[in-house]
Structure 1
């Protein structure tokens, strides 16, 4: 089979499309013929070696953790899924023609493989940070970097829970944020004052790592009401960094529920062939994403 791999840490140019042995589903796992794989910031952070001290990996290594596809192997002890089922979920080395998943759910009717591949990690992250920041119905949540995959998910989950959201993004994404129910404003000089004019902020999320933690603490009045998934030095401001994943099965269950009720949709901004994984990483690192980027297998 073909898969994307790298033999050394570095920039996008270290990624190679190689021939590799097919993985197989062990106990409690399933294997899918991958149709699409989600591109997440964690993928290129791992490729760069940012996590090698806290999460060592053996090289050469595959890339990717989100996928959608068709089940073609079911491991021992697995129930409720059969060969031929269309599923999406989380696994390892998903930038490949075949991948083993450790958590999955059946794809809802009407969802394409490309769309489905964009949901698992962003939904788990969005649900986790909303829980960790402690925001409740009737309160206002500020989301810095709101137009990407996680931001798109946060805005829609918050809307479903009765939470008001103020979102910051580039000028081109203001209408997009409003379409998801957010009060929108641009980042850049004077952004904090623009937020103040929109209303009181009870809690805040930093999804972009753009050096805004000081202002987020000032706007909320409490560093414990701010959570970051992107800033490398949140402790300097007393802010919590959220980096430990929660329950993917629970996140997938909530995802399918929101999709079924028509309360969630994360658009795919761009799709790439498997051979263009490096280009997908370059675009992901550049930011300014509206929704998700995926690889087509």
Structure 2
């Protein structure tokens, strides 16, 4: 391998984890507004396997366009190797992390080098390593934009109304469904940082983990249904979403809000009768918000849990791990 090539994972066709190929490809060159990052670690996220299988689970009108072959991935943590002439704020040698070009599918982070938009990056918190930093961007920004600050005016492809986070404070109760996952465990911590009361829903194996993160109440969904136990919640953040998300509407008080992270199936008439609001958004890259999250990570106020790590060459095994489910925190690839 020469100084002008690198190792990367590419998709030449859609399929299962076996479609991920470890190959030698050219090192990208940073364009206007970009920096070249030597990748140390890569966060694995659901859009990575949506891309791999052809995004068959997304409505056709919401599927972004892309061409094969493609390098998957959106999350990274690494070191700046080169900076375009028009970029201010980053220098060679800076440690950075980011969510690249999302909601597009051309982040290309499953690689040893990435040309990254500077606006999508933030300085990596000094208090955490590349492994944990790589697990933060997509999951952390999803939790941030749903719960704290949307930070953009782009319409969601899943609804016409603009998403509006619910102000969190000590008088607010939040139910987090799927609380042990990437988005869920960070959302729980952000809600606790705002002094909200949090009810965590996950399988029983994750109870001690979630209580350590600050959960005030825990429900094991394998034994009990939260909609049978809980009433008068101010906010539901359903990180699972999907067709069964509406069952959690019954946990809300009148005037409450339901935020499905993955679009669900809801009935406007039912929402009106219950007096609740259902709204969501699509996470977008945002270096400034990531810098805010980075300060919480640096202080230890919020921490990223690592489910498992795999070498870049073993991306297939990482996707196989994801397919087994019951993930605690984040799956991360190591590229350095």
Q: What TM-score comes out, normalization by structure 2 length?
A: 0.81
1:274 aligned residue: 312
Matches within 5 A, 1:210-249: 211-221=243-253, 225-234=257-266, 240=278, 242-246=280-284, 248-249=286-287
Contact 2:241 2:262 survives alignment (8 Å): yes
2:153 aligned residue: none
Matches within 5 A, 1:243-258: 243-246=281-284, 248-258=286-296
User: What secondary structure does 2:43 align onto?
Assistant: strand
2:130 aligned residue: 113
2:130 aligned with 1:125: no
Matches within 5 A, 1:119-198: 119-131=136-148, 132-137=164-169, 138-182=171-215, 183-192=217-226, 195-196=229-230
| Structure 1 stretch displaced more, 202-211 or 11-20 | 202-211
User: What secondary structure does 1:227 align onto?
Assistant: strand
Runs of 4+ residues deviating >3 angstroms: 209-212, 221-224, 231-243
Tell me the C-alpha RMSD between the 2 structures. 2.2
The structure carrying a bigger helix percent of its residues is: 1
Contact 1:126 1:150 survives alignment (8 Å): yes
CA distance in 2, matches of 1:294, 1:85: 21
Contact 1:142 1:205 survives alignment (8 Å): yes
After superposition, the Cα gap between the structure-2 partners of 1:276 and 1:120, relative to the gap in structure 1 and judged at 3 Å, is same
User: What secondary structure does 1:61 align onto?
Assistant: coil
Contact 1:206 1:228 survives alignment (8 Å): yes
CA distance in 1, matches of 2:244, 2:256: 15
Q: CA deviation at 1:287?
A: 2.0
Q: CA deviation at 1:179?
A: 0.7
Unaligned runs of 5+ in 1: none
2:28 aligned with 1:55: no
Q: CA deviation at 1:80?
A: 1.8
1:206 aligned residue: 238
2:274 aligned residue: none
CA distance in 1, matches of 2:10, 2:206: 33
User: What secondary structure does 1:20 align onto?
Assistant: strand
Contact 1:90 1:101 survives alignment (8 Å): no
Q: CA deviation at 1:81?
A: 1.3
1:9 aligned residue: 14
After superposition, the Cα gap between the structure-2 partners of 1:64 and 1:24, relative to the gap in structure 1 and judged at 3 Å, is same
Contact 1:135 1:141 survives alignment (8 Å): no
Q: What TM-score comes out, normalization by structure 1 length?
A: 0.91
